[in-house]
Amino acid sequence: MITREADYAIRTVLYLAQHAERGAVATNEISEKMQIPYRFLRKISHHLVEAGILATHRGKQGGIFLARKPDEISLFDILKLFDQRAINLNICCQDLSACDRSNLCPVHERLELLQSRLRAEFDACSFADLLGNDK
């Protein structure tokens, strides 16, 4: 299950992808339309800016906007930034030293395969895909 923070980050990027032609969008608009607490949105957008996913424009017509095209931003980009646990099936897939049975465990190899597929699926799902767009 993904965290609330990751969910809000996905909603934010999705809204900006839907309105990419407008350029900068006020954070209070995103907060209202996507039902994200304003303070939480400010924190999330700051992290997205630092990661190069969003950019900001100051001034009267200011706000936040996508720094990359929707087809260049994947669900994996957002989840790895906000919720590493959501993209890891088990601790052994993230850190082999966390389990002293990793080398012996018959389940570990299958988990690694499933982990690889899960990450690939998240990485292949762009925000353009979520909007039904090619670009």
State pLDDT tens for residues 6-22. Answer: 999 999 999 999 999 98
- Domain presence at residue 102: no
Q: What is the CATH number of the domain that holds 26?
A: 1.10.10.10
Tokens 């895909």 -> residue = 129
pTM of the model: 0.85
Of 5, 9, 130, nearest to 70 by C-alpha is: 130
Number of domains present in the structure of the chain: 1
Give the end-to-end CA distance of the chain in Å, rounded to a whole number. 28
- Domain presence at residue 107: no
**Spans in the chain with pLDDT lower than 70:** 91-99, 101-103, 134-135
- Domain presence at residue 30: yes
- Domain presence at residue 115: no
- Domain presence at residue 24: yes
pLDDT at 125: 95
Full residue range of the structural domain in which residue 62 is found: 4-87+126-131
Q: Rounded to the nearest 10 degrees, how much is the dihedral formed by the CA atoms of 35, 41, 47, 91?
A: -50
- Helices and strands counted in the chain (H then E): 7, 2
Query: Strand runs (DSSP E) across the chain, as ranges?
Result: 54-57, 63-66
